[in-house]
Chain A
């Protein structure tokens, strides 16, 4: 009886994973590929994330969880890959851009209150027009290249860069104003 019950749970989990994989697989691969620039690595990231999901208690929003986990795995892999040699890929460039407003790690650690940061960022993003907000997230969360974003939004690359630059400045000003950094 216990065995049958376990079997049912496994089957159910398999089904959910299959559905999630079908629904979010493409997006997750894109996220990982934006970071790692490699199809196989991206696929591995997705598999790792699915495995992690299998082993976890299913989160409330498994889609978002999967995307975030894939992103983290890909970033960790990137970090590992660039441990010896500083890369100059899209992800590094995007994140280094962000550092302009978030400042260095140590400084961040000093003032860190992740919740404060998260709230400040969310507040900042919510007050932005949808298009600007999405551009920002595409660049710094999904780590799309500027050219890809420009293409998707029918803008020039310089326009996208300018939008991002202004948003970073505004965000930095907000952080300074609220005495977060």
Chain B
């Protein structure tokens, strides 16, 4: 050990000594190639997710790539516009699909008010690629997408009720001029009876129609989501004002979801 080296360093200025121990500005983490590769993948994924979101936002007042996309954007606006309360907004965070929650609260009048014009009547234009509902009293099974409204002038109002029934049984019993769809369980079939037996949470074992203080009739079905990937996945229907809505949630027990939906529906105007 050189005495000279020691002495040389020993005599440097006090300020230099102390400032050397100040916390350095880090230049950022050094990524190994392996980490870098994963970072690149993550960034690419984020970009894939972020770009449509940004694009969606930018397109709000401009143009859409498709009718479906346009409706998706509009419906999200609608959901935020018509969310009934902070409590529901809070709840919505726990729902798999905010869109699905929002559907629970729309009303035809509100839709029309929102769109700014009346929905075209008698223009029921289902999209065959998404539509697998049988009518005329016959039951159906499987996923279904209903797009019951379409604006003949191609303006806005292609409204989609997007639901996954995943083995539930139901049928369209009526399509009225106001474009209402009633979905119900067909109790005349074995599968329908099994569904009711397995899934309904009503005390008396029957499908109970509730009427809230504002005179709105509604029915709730809730069941554990067997096809859901998360724990405590719950899904069900609310049939309100003749429109069937699928609701899905994570983190709830069926009973909890049922109670929550019921509370909401009781206050629904």
Cβ-defined contact, B21 with A98, below 8 A:
no
Chain B residues positioned under 8 Å from A126 (CB to CB): 16
Chain B hits for A156, CB < 8 A: 30
Fill in one digit per residue for B18-30: 1 if any A CB lies within 8 Å of its CB, else 0: 1111111011111
Take A130-B19, A154-B26 as given contacts and tell me if A105 and B14 are in contact as well, using a CB distance cutoff of 8 Å.
no
- Chain B hits for A96, CB < 8 A: 1-2
Q: How far is the CA of A68 from the CA of B55 in the complex (A)?
A: 61
Q: CB distance A118 to B21 under 8 Å?
A: no
Q: Which of A68, A72, A103, A137 contacts B16 (CB 8 A)?
A: A137
Whether B20 and A142, one on each chain, are in contact in the complex, defined by CB atoms closer than 8 angstroms, is: yes
Q: Within the complex, which residue of A63, A134, A142 is in contact with B24, where a contact is CB–CB below 8 Å?
A: A134
Mask of A45-77 contacts with B, CB within 8 angstroms, 1/0: 000000000000000010110011001100100
Q: How far is the CB of A80 from chain B (nearest CB, A)?
A: 11
For A16, list chain B residues within 8 Å (CB): none
Report yes or no: B14 in contact with A117, Cβ–Cβ below 8 A. Answer: no
Q: Is the CB–CB distance between A67 and B17 below 8 Å?
A: yes
- Number of A-B residue pairs having CB atoms within 8 Å of each other in the complex: 103
27 interchain pairs (CB within 8 A)? Answer: A71-B10, A72-B10, A75-B1, A75-B6, A91-B1, A92-B1, A95-B1, A98-B2, A102-B2, A103-B4, A105-B2, A105-B3, A105-B4, A114-B11, A125-B12, A131-B24, A133-B20, A134-B19, A134-B20, A134-B22, A137-B12, A137-B16, A140-B5, A141-B20, A153-B27, A154-B27, A155-B27
Closest to A67 in B: B17
CB-contacts of A127-181 with B (<8 A):
130-131, 133-134, 137-138, 140-142, 152-156
Does chain A have a CB within 8 A of B13?
Answer: yes
Counting from the closest, the 4 A-B pairs by CB-CB distance are A108-B4, A64-B14, A137-B20, A154-B26
The smallest C-beta distance from A158 to any residue of chain B, in angstroms, reads 11
B residues in contact with A18, CB < 8 Å: none
Say what secondary structure dominates the interface of chain A: helix
Chain B positions within 8 Å of A, measured between CB atoms, are: 1-14, 16-24, 26-30
- 12 other contacts beyond A104-B4, A117-B8, with CB at 8 A cut-off? A99-B4, A109-B4, A121-B12, A122-B16, A134-B20, A137-B20, A141-B17, A141-B20, A152-B26, A153-B24, A154-B29, A156-B30
Min CB distance A145 to B, Å, is 15
Q: Nearest residue in B to A109 (C-beta to C-beta)?
A: B4
Which A residues fall within an 8 A CB radius of B? Answer: 27, 61, 63-64, 67-68, 71-72, 75, 78-79, 82, 91-92, 95-96, 98-99, 102-105, 108-109, 112, 114, 117-118, 121-122, 125-126, 130-131, 133-134, 137-138, 140-142, 152-156
Give the distance to chain B from A81, nearest Cβ to Cβ, in Å: 11
Which residues from B are CB-within-8-Å of A153?
A: 24, 26-27
A140 with B17, Cβ < 8 A, contacts A95-B1, A153-B26 known: no
Taking a contact as CB atoms under 8 Å apart, the answer to whether B10 and A104 are in contact is no
CA distance A118 to B10 in the complex (A): 9
Residues from chain A with Cβ under 8 Å of B20 in the complex? 133-134, 137-138, 141-142
Q: Which of A91, A118, A133 has the most CB of B within 10 A?
A: A118
Q: Which residues of A contact B30 (CB under 8 A)?
A: 154-156
- Residues of chain A with a CB closer than 8 A to B2's CB: 95-96, 98-99, 102, 104-105, 108
Among A27, A103, A154, A156: residue with most chain B CB under 10 A: A154
Chain B, residue nearest A138 (CB) = B20
Contacts of B3 in A (CB 8 A): 105, 108
Complex: how many Å from CA A75 to CA B6?
9
Q: A96–B2 Cα gap in the complex (Å)?
A: 7
Query: Which single member of B5, B24, B29 contacts A98 (CB below 8 Å)?
Result: B5
A153 to B17, CA, bound (A): 17
Q: For residue B4, give the distance in angstroms from its CB to the closest CB of chain A.
A: 3
A141 touches B12 (CB 8 A): yes
Which residue of chain B lies nearest to A136 when distances are taken between CB atoms in the complex? B20
Please, how many angstroms separate the alpha-carbon atoms of A82 and B12 in the complex?
26
